[in-house]
Structure 1
Amino acid sequence: MILLTGFEPFGGGSTNPSWAAARDAAARLRNEGLDAQAVELPCVFGDAIRVLEAALERYRPELVVCAGQAGGRSRISLERIAINCDDARIQDNAGNSPVDRPVVDGGPAAYFSTLPVKAALAALQAAEIPAEVSQTAGTYVCNHVFYGLMHALRLRPRTRGGFVHVPYEPAQLPPGSTDPSLPLDQLAEALAVVVRSSLATAVDLKIPAGATH
């Protein structure tokens, strides 16, 4: 079973392409005969992890792909690492703005994704979808969920998971905006590609996708 998640709108936005993409990707995968479900997470520290953990318990997936919006990025970002730090520049949807607080008290400093991020990168590039391996998921609710997911999966060794950031979709942008965006159809297909490549890959590829800064 495959679980995809996205977030509700935040920061004054009326939509969040991560949720629309996760929902549409799950539908695409079901049409291909795969058992896939999508769950919308609240953009709230703490609550988001609780909803995610409830979904893990309910669906008991073999693969989890969480998605979030990264406005300003121009590519699908395959996140490599989650850090044990909440440091909010803006309030979440419940008015919380933690500063320098651990996601999990006493947890390790970081967790790596267990998705084959390099294989997913190659598959996205083959599909002509702009993509990159990202070395930071930030310190807002996206990283909070990514870390919470990987912390939960330490007790589910047969389940792989990770996090993907998506850019804006064009409908979110005001006229004249120069912010990068990708069509929703492409965002949904990107998440489906990540799932397909993850299911097909037991050992990740060894290809360069690092960063110099």
Structure 2
Amino acid sequence: MKILVAAFDPFGGEKINPALEAVKKLDDQIAGAEITKLEIPTVFHKSAQTLREKAIELKPDMILCVGQAGGRYALTPERVAINQDDARIEDNEGNQPIDVPIQEDGAPAYFATLPIKAMVQKMKEAGVPAEVSNSAGTFVCNHIMYQALYLTEKEMPSVRAGFIHVPFIPEQVVSKPGQPSMSLEDIAKGLSAAIEAMVEYHDKEDVKSIGGAIH
């Protein structure tokens, strides 16, 4: 089994992206699956092009994209990506699309095809805070999740795909009072546990557990 794990480079004025640094720490094999790591630019559409080229070359069984969500305290597999770019800030090349569809012929939204609740369960068992997220935002993280699922629907229908957001690491919050953080080691441990669940549930239905939100 082959899993492509893609993570963004630093953005928004940060010098480091914990998503990318944690992915670099992953073993090359997890639960018997071969892990291929890919750095993608925090740039609308270019990120998707980079991901698509690698996916076509690798022909993975699953795709996991990883990005930073400053302000969150847990690792959060995303449930859904929407067909909308609405950038509050510019990406790394100065693009700032507002109210623009990601793909004109795409669905209004795509749900993750990874076992997100099993992933949360496995991460918690590993001692890492985790929960399901019901919004990936409208920046490049939502964009790449949507594009990964669009790619799998249109060109690679047997491939499962999804996205995890990770928190800041401690060095990023030194000048951000009140912001939560998580050690890079724990983020990497959580991602590894999530991938173990992906492998275990590759040909199974996701677990039925509470993962909803009031608001």
Q: Could you state the TM-score of these two structures normalised by the residue count of structure 1? A: 0.95
1:157 Cα offset (Å): 2.1
After superposition, residues 49-64 of structure 1 pair within 5 angstroms as: 49-64=48-63
* 8 A contact 1:29–1:192 mirrored in 2: no
Match of residue 44 from structure 1: 43
In the alignment, what sits opposite 2:178?
178
Question: Identity over the aligned pairs, expressed in percent?
Answer: 39
- Shift, 1:178, TM fit: 2.3
Residue 34 of structure 1, CA deviation = 3.2
- Per-residue CA distance 1:57-86 (angstroms, 9 max, x = gap): 111110111000000001101100000000
Equivalent AA in structure 2 for residue 9 of structure 1: P
Structure 1 residues 7-46: aligned runs within 5 Å: 7-25=8-26, 28-30=27-29, 33-46=32-45
**Total equivalences in the alignment:** 211
1:117-174 superposed Cα distances (whole Å, 9 cap, x missing partner)? 1111111111111011000000000000000000001131221110000000112222
Structure 2 distance, partners of 1:114, 1:31, is 19
Range moving further from structure 2, 28-37 or 53-62? 28-37
The aligned amino acid for 1:134 is S
Aligned positions of 1:40-189 closer than 5 A? 40-154=39-153, 155-174=155-174, 177-189=177-189
In structure 2, do the counterparts of structure 1 residues 138 and 176 end up closer, same or farther at CA, with 3 Å as the change threshold? Answer: closer
> Which AA in structure 2 matches 1:205?
V
Q: 1:209 aligns with which of 195, 208, 211?
A: 211
Unpaired segments ≥5 residues, structure 1:
none
SS in 1 for 2:7: strand
The one-letter code sitting in structure 1 at the alignment partner of 2:15 is: S
**In the aligned structure 2, how far is the partner of 1:144 from the partner of 1:168?**
20
Distance of 2:40 and 2:183 partners within structure 1: 22
Distance (Å, rounded) in 1 between the aligned partners of 2:104 and 2:12: 27
Change (3 A) 1:176 1:143: closer
8 Å contact kept, 1:129–1:186: yes
Matched residue, 1:6: 7
More moved, 151-160 vs 72-81 = 151-160
In 2, the alpha carbon distance for the partners of 1:89 and 1:212 equals 25
CA distance in 2, matches of 1:200, 1:18: 23
Structure 1 runs (4+) deviating above 3 angstroms are 31-34
Cα distance change of structure 1 residues 178 and 159 upon mapping to structure 2, 3 Å threshold: same
- Sort the Cα spacing of 1:101 and 1:207 in 2 relative to 1 into closer, same or farther, 3 A: same
Q: Distance in 2 between matches of 1:31 and 1:141?
A: 27
Structure 2 vs 1, CA of residues 172 and 152 (structure 1 numbering), >3 Å: closer, same or farther? same
2:87–2:98 Cα contact (<8 Å) kept: yes
Q: What CA deviation, in whole Å up to 9, does each residue of 1:83-132 have, x standing for no partner? A: 00000000001001000001101311000000101111111111111011
Provide the rounded CA distance (Å) in 1 between the counterparts of 2:175 and 2:18: 18
Give the distance between the partners of 1:132 and 1:32, measured in 2 at CA.
22
Deviation, 1:209, is 0.6
